[in-house]
């Protein structure tokens, strides 16, 4: 048989792929395995136990940080998705005009600007406001997270809108639907999977943010990731592995739930 060039079957490709998979997943697997270590080392195996999960569960700092994380991420995800949906509608449901490209760049700015720059800027900005208002609650973290989550929520929503057939909205108007009814009955149901994707993405991005949170948080406002970072400065026990494992589980759960929701939508 004549040998034909096939991009998928090249010498060494399989090896490279395997190395990539190991580099990605082996550390995670190790982390999860040592979460069940009976001993107090993260490198020496001493048998199976759930003690570190119990310890984390009974650690008030961990529980408080987790609740704080969920509060911030939920608010940030919902608000940023609403803003992103409106931004996506405004930037796609219009004829191209000068300055539209600038608006895209403006909305996506948090993706381009180095996070540390945003973090420093927010720190300075918020410290002024703290002095003026005297308020030092979680609101600053929620505002900061909402701001950097907008582009992540915006991307899938915009992609969904751009793939949508605009004649569908015209057809709805032709069939006596007012603009609001056309949006509610046609645009929104078709956009929903994009909005869900944006929401999930924003939530996950917010949940594991460290840099901006570390700079913006006031004392006693550790989120789960900044708490974990703090632990590394001290003696490390497999408790950190246990927390990470639960964290991982929640992420997988969110992605899986979304996968099934979006698949159901597409099948309809």
Partner 1 sequence: MPEQPGRNAIEVRGVRKVFGTGESQVAALDTVSVSIRENEFFTLLGPSGCGKTTLLRLIAGFDFPSAGEILLHGQDIAPLPPFKRPVNTVFQNYALFPHMTVAENIGFGLEMLGKPKTEVKARVAEMLKLVKMEALSNRRTSQISGGQQQRVALARALAPQPKVLLLDEPLSALDFKLRKEMQIELKRLQHETGITFIFVTHDQEEALTMSDRIAVMSSGKILQVGSPWDIYDKPAERFVADFIGETNFLTAAITGMGNGKARATLKSGVTIDATVAEGFQPKDIATVVVRPEHAKLTSGKGDLSGTVENIVYFGTDTHIHVRLDSSEAFTVRQQNTRSAGCGFELGDKVGISIGNDAAQILRD
Tell me: does residue 171 bind partner 1 (CB under 8 A).
yes
Contacts with 159 (C-beta within 8 Å, 6 or more apart), sequence order: 194
Pick from 4, 11, 167, 235: which binds partner 1 (CB under 8 A)?
167
Alpha carbon 39 to its chain's center: 33
Cβ–Cβ under 8 Å, residues 170 and 93: no
Q: What is the 3-state secondary structure (H, E, C) of 19-85?
A: HHHHHHHHHHHHHHHHCCECCCCCCCCCCECCHHHHHHHHCHHHHHHHHHHHHHHHHHHHHHHHHHH
Candidate ranges 7-15, 35-43, 119-127, 181-189; the one touching partner 1 (CB under 8 A): 181-189
Tell me: does residue 190 bind partner 1 (CB under 8 A).
yes
Tell me: does residue 94 bind partner 1 (CB under 8 A).
no
Pick from 82, 177, 246, 254: which binds partner 1 (CB under 8 A)?
177
Tell me: does residue 67 bind partner 1 (CB under 8 A).
no
CA 70 to CA 8: how far, in whole Å?
43
Pick from 5, 97, 102, 176: which binds partner 1 (CB under 8 A)?
176
Nearest in space to 33 (alpha carbons), one of 257, 241, 223, 196: 241
Nearest in space to 151 (alpha carbons), one of 214, 94, 105: 105
CB 108, min distance to partner 1, A: 29
Pick from 83, 173, 248, 250: which binds partner 1 (CB under 8 A)?
173
Tell me: does residue 189 bind partner 1 (CB under 8 A).
yes
Tell me: does residue 93 bind partner 1 (CB under 8 A).
no
6 versus 165: smaller Cβ distance to partner 1: 165
Tell me: does residue 11 bind partner 1 (CB under 8 A).
no
11 versus 167: smaller Cβ distance to partner 1: 167
Pick from 10, 178, 218, 256: which binds partner 1 (CB under 8 A)?
178
CA 124 to CA 128: how far, in whole Å?
7
Size of the site for partner 1 (CB under 8 A): 19
CB 212, min distance to partner 1, A: 38
How far CA 189 is from CA of 101, 180, 185, in Å, comes to: 27, 13, 7
Tell me: does residue 170 bind partner 1 (CB under 8 A).
yes
Tell me: does residue 141 bind partner 1 (CB under 8 A).
no
Tell me: does residue 27 bind partner 1 (CB under 8 A).
no
Pick from 186, 224, 228, 240: which binds partner 1 (CB under 8 A)?
186
Cβ–Cβ under 8 Å, residues 155 and 198: yes
CA 127 to CA 191: how far, in whole Å?
39
Tell me: does residue 264 bind partner 1 (CB under 8 A).
no
145 versus 160: smaller Cβ distance to partner 1: 160
CA 120 to CA 215: how far, in whole Å?
7
Per CB under 8 A, residues contacting partner 1 are: 165, 167-168, 170-178, 181-182, 185-186, 189-190, 268
């Amino acid at each position: 048989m004549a040998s034909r060039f096939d991009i998928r079957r090249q010498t060494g490709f399989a090896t490279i792929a395997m190395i990539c998979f190991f580099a990605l997943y082996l550390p995670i697997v190790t982390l999860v395995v040592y979460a069940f270590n009976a001993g107090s080392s993260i490198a020496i195996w001493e048998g199976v136990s759930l003690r570190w999960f119990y310890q984390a569960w009974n650690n008030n700092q961990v529980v408080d940080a987790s609740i704080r994380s969920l509060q911030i991420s939920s608010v940030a995800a919902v608000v940023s998705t609403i803003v992103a949906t409106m931004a996506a509608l405004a930037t796609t449901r219009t004829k191209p005009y000068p300055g539209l490209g600038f608006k895209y760049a403006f909305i996506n700015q948090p993706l381009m600007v180095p996070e540390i720059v945003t973090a420093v800027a927010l720190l300075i900005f918020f410290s002024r406001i703290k002095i003026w208002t005297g308020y030092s609650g979680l609101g600053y973290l929620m505002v900061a997270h909402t701001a950097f989550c907008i582009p992540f929520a915006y991307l899938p929503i915009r992609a969904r809108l751009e793939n949508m057939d605009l004649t569908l909205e015209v057809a709805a108007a032709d069939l006596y639907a007012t603009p609001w009814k056309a949006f509610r009955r046609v645009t929104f149901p078709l956009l929903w999977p994009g909005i869900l994707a944006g929401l999930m993405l924003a939530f996950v991005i917010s949940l594991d943010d460290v840099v901006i949170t570390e700079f913006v948080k006031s004392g006693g406002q550790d989120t789960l990731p900044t708490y974990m970072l703090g632990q590394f400065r001290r003696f490390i026990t497999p408790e950190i592995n246990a927390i990470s494992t639960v964290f991982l589980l929640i992420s997988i759960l969110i992605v899986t739930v979304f996968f099934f929701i979006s698949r159901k939508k597409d099948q309809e």
